[in-house]
Structure 1
């Protein structure tokens, strides 16, 4: 348990079955101030999407997932419910380690399958930056599974994976939500290669990936009629106003999300509706924007079966099972280290 700092956590009747560990970063992660200076003050302008998720942004994202246009969450949830028994039969995990676990809502399907398979010794390791969310999810899962032991990991997986636990036994790593699509291509390869470096011959990875499909379906998912995604995007400016004493006027920006077929990705922007100057009180800096100038706030890459197989291959992994719905909207890919996949299948 190198680089883990344990904190106590009492969960009523579940006390003794939940521990919370702080995972120390393996490398420096840029701060909001550094990201603003690096990405926002000079064109082309951009900010990482992680800053969407303050308390308000997290609530808005949950509402996005409930909109009729936003298919990824419900599609992946239904697919995981359908294939969880097969995944657990393939992996036979002693430990389930989930990166970016959030509220662990979809993970319940895997833990239900673990229970049906009689693997009640299996431990769950959710890894997320938000400790209160880990606690809330832990209470819910422990009530659902009286046999379950949870070791919550508090930290930023983007700060490196060296601090991941290395318990004895088979480990099933889980990375859902097509979060891999928020990475630029090289970043995605490097991230998966880093994960592969943590894996042993009996370990496997379950990866969620959104698929290329009709651009009208993709664009509708990020431009819901109720305007919740637009509010979610604009919330980034509220974060900057609060954290850096900026003076963004939200009414001077509009939300834009478009699909770029050449890059096979959705690009989400905040577009300045006028010439304007924004001041950052805490930075002593100003941002000059022209009318129609965009700020890139998120990319969401979409994959074909071939492109996700290639991504895994480049990272030293090989897919041995693809699970997808009949409409091909989403994939759950079960992968293993390439050097052992063919010699020692799970």
Structure 2
């Protein structure tokens, strides 16, 4: 088999994109009522390591459940889609998609792998590894934001876009609608979206998944304050904040928050900003929406997709949806 062609990584974000986005999010979120910060700022190198630890914790089921479904259904996904191009959004290390890639290669259809991520370093490493592993397959890396740059993705039909890990749950409902509509806009009728969603279940299981006994998730949550300190010259003491994970039954999502243990003031030097906290005041750092099949089908239909297959793990904790562009 011939060697893969590793395309030059396409970069659609300026070098200072992350710094400017963090500054904007910090200023807007920490001067709002209530205070918020987006979950993407958990993931510096330390945060990514902490999240890898989280995925191995007994309480955190989503990663294992999704992998169980992929292991059981990858061959079926390959047969149904006949995909020539696999596009992974937020690719990271692309580890989870290898089950799909192996199935598509075995089916004889895979010709192109496209990985999109905001981290140029992680993407280059992942693309090089994929090129080495999948001989004869073209590999493209795109440094971009999947909320902005979907229309710039390479790849020939038939394409299968994979958005795994339950990441769609981090979007507010209007953001989900915009995202799904944007994905549909770049696909031709008959192309495919594979979507991972965590499912509604009893509160105890959900809360434990985001508030583990070892405190790893608490440290992960506080890591956003370490990021602000390092990148924006802030003086937060992460120990001043409790980690809170709560289930919101009305919205059917988990919220992660950082709650001030006392009244305090933090200075963010690079923004020339002082942020006041009362005792017990929260920063909401993440929502993680949980889904039911009807809700997924309705939201996909509104964006121009038809839900063709719905698969769950044996314990019915997590779902993969295969949807066809209308």
TM-score bucket (shorter structure): over 0.9
Residue of structure 2 aligned with 1:65, choices 55, 61, 77: 55
1:149 and 2:149 aligned:
no
Runs (4 or more) in structure 1 with deviation over 3 Å come to: 13-19
Compute the RMSD of aligned alpha carbons: 1.8
1:276 and 2:264 aligned:
yes
Q: Distance in 2 between matches of 1:17 and 1:161?
A: 20
Q: Distance in 2 between matches of 1:193 and 1:227?
A: 37
Residue of structure 2 aligned with 1:190, choices 175, 178, 182: 178
Q: What is the match of residue 200 of structure 1?
A: 188
Q: Distance in 2 between matches of 1:96 and 1:181?
A: 22
Q: What is the match of residue 90 of structure 1?
A: 80
Q: CA deviation at 1:14?
A: 6.0
More moved, 73-82 vs 139-148: 139-148
Q: CA deviation at 1:267?
A: 0.1
User: Residues 169-224 of structure 1, C-alpha deviation per residue, up to 9 Å, x if partnerless?
Assistant: 21111100111100000110111011111110131100111100111111110011
Residue of structure 2 aligned with 1:300, choices 288, 301, 307: 288
More moved, 108-117 vs 148-157: 148-157
Q: Distance in 1 between matches of 2:187 and 2:138?
A: 22
Q: What is the match of residue 306 of structure 2?
A: 318
Q: Is the CA contact (8 Å cut-off) linking 1:23 and 1:164 kept in structure 2?
A: no
1:158 and 2:165 aligned:
no
Q: What is the match of residue 212 of structure 2?
A: 224
TM-score, with structure 2 as normaliser? 0.94
Q: Distance in 1 between matches of 2:315 and 2:5?
A: 44
Q: Distance in 2 between matches of 1:311 and 1:41?
A: 32
Secondary structure of the structure 2 residue equivalent to 1:286: strand
Q: What is the match of residue 329 of structure 1?
A: 317
Instruction: Give 1:107-256 correspondences, 5 Å limit.
Output: 107-120=97-110, 122-165=111-154, 167-256=155-244
Q: Distance in 1 between matches of 2:55 and 2:70?
A: 16
Structure 2 gap ranges (5+): none
1:36 and 2:26 aligned:
yes
TM-score, with structure 1 as normaliser? 0.89
Secondary structure of the structure 2 residue equivalent to 1:79: helix
Aligned residues: 322
